[in-house]
Structure 1
């Protein structure tokens, strides 16, 4: 006989694990299926990226009991500086302007993964299958029938709600028949750590250029997380550069605001695509995180957006008699619409305008940066959205929740 569960979460990466913890904290039974073993070194999303966590995300992780496991490894972002190479104008944001101690925090993805795994160990309403693979998903009378392949053999589950948290190439999304709109930015992203001559001192820098954005995120001990975007056609050449040449490339793209960049860490390349599901829900099923939308890393909003997906779904499901009810799923899609669409439009628009090699746009781009820096309503709106407070955010991320 198949086992029964209220909620089946497919995918135990950063967003899937967060959702599992949120549901457990809300008192909901759930099953989490993850292809990787439950170890930091086995989970692909617990990698070398340096995540820029918004203030809202930190509030949410604190509410879930995850933040105490990660806080010691995090670095506060107290200021943000945005500019474009070769053009005048800049936007500067400071936490003190908005009455907060930090706009967000940087944290290595592997450390957030470690914190999530530690918190998962304390869950009492959650059943975890890892490593395990979902090999079939078929409609059932009041939900979905899932077939899993585990180390102990195959098993079947009946779930009233299936959650696809299984990433950009989502198996769940495909089985639900939900299409995705794909845009290839023809860019390759490199992440690494560097040591600037002058420490970032809590300031995160984002600099746009014709070849794509480059960012430096503050880390502990004077280090910085480098995010360097290059045209995809140049990706293999950049990957093959020795450290000195790679640092010279990064220096030329970022500039000398922090002095010389030295001591490059291991580089990790990522091909950048925008993959957006055409629907967030199907009968008794829902998509969250990268399965719902994979966006350009400009502005570092990917995980932050996915975490708000997870926390909103957990909030709606907390007291629901039926977590797969059509009305609940409609409410979820409606709650996520403004945040999702606004964040996707922002990231896509910035790539198209801020990085477009069009000299005629230079004065307009510079004036826009100056306006965001000097017009208080614009500046506050930019900061508040950057901190993750857009649309109808889940209660767990609000300031009162922290």
Structure 2
């Protein structure tokens, strides 16, 4: 691994700010190009970023394909859960949507992975990279000049502040991106006034490959099939009720979730520790700036309904890697940035519209919307062409899909 004792006279080809899911995945993808890559991480060696906790990640098929190609999924130590069917309904509305992978010529729609397990696999893969310099624990402080084909960046660690340089700066530092702010890129926020409570849940009927999503005005209640015989629970509550619900004892909480979800998985028997995540949407007005690009949550933070967030962010990272590979010599060249922004436009626009529109439509209790929603659920369950659109999106195939997201020969 390259030495971190370097100064601003030796620029990185790419400097990534943020070592979470998307930033780490991008570093792995770039290593195959033999580029000099720097990764600025806030956590010290031996620790995982906070995002790698006990929440459950739903990986679309396109994401599974890419992470297998990058050598990450084979490093998972815990079993993954397989999603073979999707069942979605809304409390108070008629109809439901049922999608079967086998009916569309697929063995599965995707996998369920515990975030901590994924973080450990990413860490193991990062440790094998030959062209990566890791700055940790280090934080981004601000931007210096952008001149002569190089962008200067201020970082700080235990020894104080210093300047490093890069031909391309990548903001992968999350919803409250300091890099995005320093670049002067405005972002529009939307508070959904919902909080998600996430936990591991055991039910009378063990997972059978079905991912359930029950929609209500206060958010979704989802059961995801984990690989350990439990479900990954996601329970949405109104933001002003979140503290009270989080403080419930296990019996009261299970009764609440059972009432919201129903009995499709039988009686709920036990629940593990709960974590709470307020839902704030955020969309950057631009994806690129001179010698800089935004990826993942720094570019867009989605409502988790439909589990599109990380899947979209990974496609950001893989598309960027492809654009860099297609324009060798200078990773921050304008041609790279223009190509990346153009290729991400369709996927990003359509996924944002789907996620935000679905969240707002399903949380609106207006009586006039109920028959429309019911008609939509019935149509989605019955019409093959509409199911095809839903399946393609659920599996991560929207817009200009990066090559690694498709299996060889598929």
TM-score range, shorter chain: over 0.9
Residue 388 of structure 1 aligns with which residue? 396
Distance 1:385 1:379 in 2: 10
**Counterparts of 1:1-400 in structure 2 under 5 Å?**
1-2=7-8, 3-39=10-46, 41-70=47-76, 72-141=78-147, 142-319=149-326, 320-400=328-408
Deviation of 1:135 after TM superposition, in Å, equals 1.4
CA distance in 1, matches of 2:87, 2:358: 15
The CA deviation at 1:374 is 1.3
**1:296-319 CA-partner distances (Å, limit 9, x unpaired):** 000011110000000000111124
Whether the aligned pair in 1 keeps the contact of 2:196 and 2:279 (CA below 8 Å) is: yes
Kindly indicate whether the alpha-carbon contact (under 8 Å) linking 1:217 and 1:226 is maintained by their aligned counterparts in 2. yes
Off by >6 Å, runs of 4+ in structure 1: none
Could you say what secondary structure the match of 2:87 adopts?
A: strand
Query: How much has 1:98 moved relative to structure 2?
Result: 1.5
> Per-residue deviation at 1:335?
0.6
> For each residue in 1:137-162, what CA deviation from the matched residue of structure 2 results, as whole angstroms up to 9, or x when unmatched?
12321231112222344432111110
SS in 1 for 2:386: helix
Kept after mapping to 1: 8 A contact 2:78/2:117: no
Query: 1:222: Cα distance to partner?
Result: 2.6
Contact 2:201 2:232 in 1 (8 A): yes
Question: Residues 228-282 of structure 1, C-alpha deviation per residue, up to 9 Å, x if partnerless?
Answer: 1101010111111111111111111111111111211110001101111000000
Shift of 1:401: 7.0
| TM superposition score normalised by structure 1 | 0.97
Offset of residue 371 of structure 1: 1.1
Q: Is the Cα contact below 8 Å between 2:217 and 2:363 reproduced in 1?
A: yes
Structural RMSD (CA): 1.4
C-alpha contact 1:28 1:318 (8 A) present in aligned 2: no
2:78–2:227 CA contact under 8 A, matched in 1: no
Distance (whole Å) between structure 1 residues aligned to residue 45 and residue 52 of structure 2: 11
Give the match's secondary structure for 1:310.
helix
The 1:297/1:378 distance shift into structure 2, 3 A limit, reads same
Gaps of 5+ in 2: 1-6
The question of whether the paired residues in 1 share the 8 Å contact of 2:189 and 2:281 is answered with: yes
Q: Normalising by structure 2, report the TM-score.
A: 0.95
**For 1:213, what is the secondary structure of its paired residue?**
strand
* Structure 1 counterpart SS, 2:306: coil
Equivalent-residue separation in structure 2 for 1:49 and 1:183 (angstroms): 22
Q: Could you tell which deviates more after superposition, 351-360 or 179-188?
A: 351-360
Equivalent residues, number: 401
